[in-house]
């Protein structure tokens, strides 16, 4: 084991895991790889980093895959551009990154905002994505917008869509209060709170400009919606697995993707909140591996 310190990770990593840095469109992109075999790109959600995939990476590496967990632009140790947070722009950067790594074709797993970007990448570059797994989100432009006139407990997973899109105000209210803001989210969106590495993410998003970059993903929603209305006219060509958590989105990922994916499977993980890759990694892996192993690139 070796000790590796970064903004996003202070624990020990296995010796065969690698931090890697690519330059894509003139900006640094950070990722971590584990294992050897057919590539699986892992896209985290907000407010997390690549580190949310650590358990899933071990599962994939043990099963004979190369897990590639990325910090998307503005996240973790990747550069934070001033603009370009719509899912089309982010998907293009990640597609270029995979080509730099020598992967013309790969399987893709996306959580939360990673689900938004994963859908865009699969829709915009269908020749590159062999199989697609999306979990714990709804996709802007493909699902109804969040309701406003509902009880607070009914809006616990949706309030941030409107708050994060406001211009400047979120930065003013969260500056120096990143812990309070993010702890509110981790406390209320998780079912197994102790399983979530909240301190890792709080430290990552306390770095200058990181929360602003996260807000910018939400501020780009109007452009993402415009793109998704176009994407939604053409069905996805690859097999898709939609996974929800009982105490979070439940069947919402399936309902969002049902009109778009002719070859769609779905499941709901019980006793789990929004942060499924950390709260229920074993159950998630038991759904993930059989689906990925049907891909043409798999060799047992």
Q: pLDDT tens across 206-222, in order?
A: 999 999 999 999 999 99
- What is the CATH classification number for the domain harbouring 227? 3.40.50.1820
> Which residues form the domain of 201?
2-292
**Interhelix angle 113-124/87-100, nearest 10 degrees:** 70
Classify residue 298: in a domain, yes or no: no
Instruction: Kindly list the distances between the CA atom of residue 293 and the CA atoms of 32, 87, 264, 289, in Å, as whole numbers in the listed order.
Output: 22, 27, 16, 6
Q: How confident is the model at residue 4 (pLDDT cuts 50, 70, 90)?
A: very low
Question: What percentage of residues in the chain have a pLDDT greater than 90?
Answer: 87
Classify residue 169: in a domain, yes or no: yes
Closest by alpha carbon to 39, among 106, 125, 127?
Answer: 106
Domain count, the chain: 1
Across the chain, mean pLDDT equals: 93
29 neighbors 22 (Cβ within 8 angstroms): yes
What pTM was computed for the model?
0.94
Instruction: Kindly list the distances between the CA atom of residue 218 and the CA atoms of 46, 161, 180, in Å, as whole numbers in the listed order.
Output: 10, 7, 20
Taking residues 250-278, report their average pLDDT.
97
**Structure tokens belonging to residue 251:** 């069947």
Three-state secondary-structure class, residue 92: helix
Q: pLDDT tens across 85-144, in order?
A: 999 999 999 999 999 999 999 999 999 999 999 999 999 999 999 999 999 999 999 998
6: pLDDT strictly greater than 90: no
256 neighbors 143 (Cβ within 8 angstroms): yes
Taking residues 151-164, report their average pLDDT.
88
Classify residue 299: in a domain, yes or no: no
Burial of residue 120 (number of CB atoms within 10 Å: 0-12, 13-18, 19+): buried
Q: First and final CA of the chain: distance in angstroms?
A: 27
Alpha carbons 131 and 111: distance in angstroms, whole number: 15
Classify residue 297: in a domain, yes or no: no
Closest by alpha carbon to 56, among 292, 297, 284?
Answer: 284
Cα 239 → chain centroid: 19
Alpha carbons 188 and 35: distance in angstroms, whole number: 34
Question: For residue 5, what pLDDT is reported?
Answer: 33
295: pLDDT strictly greater than 90: no
Taking residues 44-49, report their average pLDDT.
98
Classify residue 127: in a domain, yes or no: yes
Classify residue 254: in a domain, yes or no: yes
Question: For residue 2, what pLDDT is reported?
Answer: 35
82: pLDDT strictly greater than 70: yes
Under 8 Å CB-to-CB from 11, ≥6 apart: which residues?
A: none
Question: For residue 7, what pLDDT is reported?
Answer: 40
Alpha carbons 288 and 173: distance in angstroms, whole number: 39
51: pLDDT strictly greater than 60: yes
Classify residue 300: in a domain, yes or no: no
Cα 164 → chain centroid: 17
Q: Which of 7-11, 94-98, 223-227 shows the lowest mean pLDDT across its residues?
A: 7-11
Task: Count other Cβ atoms within 10 Å, centred on residue 261.
Answer: 23
């Amino acid at each position: 084991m070796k000790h590796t310190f970064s903004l996003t990770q202070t624990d020990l990593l296995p010796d065969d895991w690698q931090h890697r840095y690519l330059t894509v469109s003139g900006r640094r992109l950070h990722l971590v790889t584990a294992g050897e075999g057919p590539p699986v790109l892992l896209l985290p959600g907000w407010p997390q980093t690549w580190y949310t995939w650590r358990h899933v990476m071990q599962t994939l590496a043990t099963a004979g895959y190369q897990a590639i967990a990325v910090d998307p632009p503005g996240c973790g140790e990747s550069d934070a551009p001033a603009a370009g947070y719509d899912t089309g722009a982010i998907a293009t950067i990640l597609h270029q990154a995979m080509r730099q790594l020598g992967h013309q074709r790969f399987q893709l797993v996306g959580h939360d905002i990673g689900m938004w970007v994963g859908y865009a990448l699969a829709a915009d570059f269908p020749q590159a994505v062999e199989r697609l797994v999306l979990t714990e989100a709804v996709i802007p432009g493909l699902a109804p917008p969040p309701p406003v006139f509902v009880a607070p407990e009914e809006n616990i997973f949706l309030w941030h869509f409107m708050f994060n899109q406001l211009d400047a105000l979120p930065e003013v209210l969260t500056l120096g209060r990143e812990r309070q803001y993010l702890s509110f989210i981790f406390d209320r969106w998780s079912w197994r709170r102790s399983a979530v590495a909240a301190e890792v993410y709080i430290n990552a998003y306390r770095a200058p400009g990181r929360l602003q970059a996260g807000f910018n993903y939400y501020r780009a929603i109007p452009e993402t919606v415009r793109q998704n209305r176009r994407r939604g006219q053409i069905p996805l060509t690859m097999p898709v697995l939609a996974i929800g958590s009982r105490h979070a989105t439940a069947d919402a990922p399936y309902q969002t993707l049902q009109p778009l994916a002719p070859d769609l499977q779905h499941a709901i993980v019980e006793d789990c909140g929004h942060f499924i890759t950390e709260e229920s990694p074993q159950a998630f892996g038991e759904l993930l591996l059989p689906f990925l192993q049907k891909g043409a690139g798999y060799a047992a």
